[in-house]
């Protein structure tokens, strides 16, 4: 199984090396222009030109791609820098595809070390756009409008691609480190990791992730950049998937938190209902007792006059009987 995997990996590497060979990545500079520090990456010399070892290029490209993918998953931006004619269009296209900032015109001095001032220039561009939307732009004179338009065009040309970069980039990807030496120095000052296509005439010690390759041919640049941007796109996709899973977990937690509340509310409702029933029952019993209590004194009151009447009747009946007795006694005495 392991042997099979190794064979497959070797085949994959071979295919990649063949693609690199077809793109002309192996061509270096003239031997008299070489930098001795590039010796480990040089395979041989032919017709006064150094040939780059493509197996090392493939390995370094894989390493750099993995590192860039990690930076992309962390959510940081990767700034692409290429001001040479062959690379301009390719870099702008590839970087825009993965929504990354890029510099293809002159490198603005202090772009990284004086980032606050550069951001001010970008904000100025945004204010001009706002003026055009508000209608305040039309209140300016013709000459002023022309000046503002020219300023806007200049800012767009130099800084338009970095308008969405609100903080310092997480990494720098450079094509031709000799030409972009200012960018390299600024990144080194701020400890920003540098990824670069390094030709045989450059010093690889200035770069953190070296990709030994031909940085003059447009085919070679396109091949390296497609591999790099594909890795970045994968990293962004992983980030998006992680974000979605986190959101799903949050919603699940919120739902789980709501369920016990519902149960408690149901329990409280049942308790309230039971209490209400109990209070109703008590009220009913109290009413019954009260009605009984009110009934008994009325009955007593009704019975009292009846008794009084009976006594009066009895007295009346007794009175004539006594008179008769008295009369009989008087008669007897007379006799």
The 10s digit of each residue's pLDDT in 137-156 is: 888 899 999 999 999 898 88
Considering the domain architecture, whether residues 72 and 198 belong to the same structural domain is answered as yes
Per-residue pLDDT, 335: 52
Q: For residue 200, what are the domain limits?
A: 2-107+169-239
- In tens, the pLDDT along 276-286 reads 777 777 777 77
pLDDT band at residue 10 under the 50/70/90 scheme: very low
Per-residue pLDDT, 1: 39
Cβ neighbors of 91 (< 8 A, separation 6 or more) are 80, 82, 102, 104, 175, 221, 225
- Residue 159 predicted with pLDDT over 50: yes
Is the residue at 325 inside a domain?
A: no
Q: Could you tell me the sign of the dihedral formed by the alpha carbons of 247, 250, 256, 258, in that order?
A: negative
CA-CA distance, 74 to 239, in Å (whole number)? 7
Per-residue pLDDT, 175: 93
Considering the domain architecture, whether residues 154 and 176 belong to the same structural domain is answered as no
Considering the domain architecture, whether residues 189 and 89 belong to the same structural domain is answered as yes
Please compute the mean of the pLDDT values over residues 86-110 and round it to a whole number: 91
Of 224 and 320, the one with more pLDDT:
224
Considering the domain architecture, whether residues 37 and 95 belong to the same structural domain is answered as yes
Considering the domain architecture, whether residues 77 and 202 belong to the same structural domain is answered as yes
Per-residue pLDDT, 235: 92
Considering the domain architecture, whether residues 159 and 184 belong to the same structural domain is answered as no
Is the residue at 317 inside a domain?
A: no
pLDDT band at residue 224 under the 50/70/90 scheme: very high
Considering the domain architecture, whether residues 59 and 198 belong to the same structural domain is answered as yes
Q: Could you tell me the CATH number of the domain that includes residue 222? A: 3.40.50.10490
Cβ neighbors of 158 (< 8 A, separation 6 or more) are 105, 106, 108
Of 267 and 68, the one with more pLDDT:
68
- Residue 8 predicted with pLDDT over 50: no
Please compute the mean of the pLDDT values over residues 69-96 and round it to a whole number: 92
Please compute the mean of the pLDDT values over residues 43-55 and round it to a whole number: 91
Least confident of 91-105, 242-256, 307-321: 307-321
CB-CB contact of 261 with 63 (8 Å):
no
- Residue 246 predicted with pLDDT over 90: no
Per-residue pLDDT, 137: 86
pLDDT band at residue 214 under the 50/70/90 scheme: very high
Would you give the distance in Å from CA 328 to the centre of its chain? 127
């Amino acid at each position: 199984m392991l042997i099979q995997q190794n064979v497959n990996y070797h085949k994959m590497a071979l295919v990649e090396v063949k693609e690199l060979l077809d793109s002309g990545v192996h061509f270096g500079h003239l031997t008299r222009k070489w930098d001795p520090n590039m010796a480990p990456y040089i395979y041989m010399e032919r017709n006064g030109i150094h040939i780059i070892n493509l197996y090392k290029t493939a390995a370094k490209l894989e390493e750099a791609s993995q590192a860039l993918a990690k930076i992309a998953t962390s959510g940081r931006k990767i700034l692409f820098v290429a001001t040479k004619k062959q690379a301009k269009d390719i870099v702008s296209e590839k970087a825009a595809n993965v929504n990354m900032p890029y510099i293809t015109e002159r490198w603005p001095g202090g772009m990284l070390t004086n980032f606050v001032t550069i951001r001010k220039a970008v904000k100025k561009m945004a204010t001009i756009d706002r003026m055009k939307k508000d209608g305040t732009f039309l209140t300016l004179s013709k000459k002023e409008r022309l000046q503002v338009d020219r300023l806007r065009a200049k800012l767009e040309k130099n800084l338009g691609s970095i308008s969405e970069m609100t903080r310092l980039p997480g990494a720098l990807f450079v094509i031709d480190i000799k030409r972009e030496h200012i960018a390299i120095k600024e990144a080194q000052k701020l400890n920003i990791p540098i990824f670069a296509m390094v030709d045989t005439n450059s010093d690889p010690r200035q770069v953190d992730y070296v990709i030994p390759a031909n940085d003059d041919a447009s085919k070679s640049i396109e091949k390296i950049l497609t591999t790099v941007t594909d890795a970045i796109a994968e990293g962004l996709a992983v980030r998006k998937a992680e974000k979605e899973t986190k959101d799903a977990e949050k919603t699940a937690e919120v739902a789980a938190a709501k369920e016990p509340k519902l149960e408690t509310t149901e329990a409280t409702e049942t308790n309230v209902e039971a209490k209400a029933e109990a209070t109703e029952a008590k009220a009913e019993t109290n009413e019954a007792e009260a009605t009984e209590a009110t009934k008994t004194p009325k009955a007593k009151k009704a019975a009292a006059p009846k008794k009084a009447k009976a006594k009066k009747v009895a007295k009346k009946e007794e009175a004539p009987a006594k008179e008769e007795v008295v009369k009989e006694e008087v008669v007897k005495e007379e006799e």
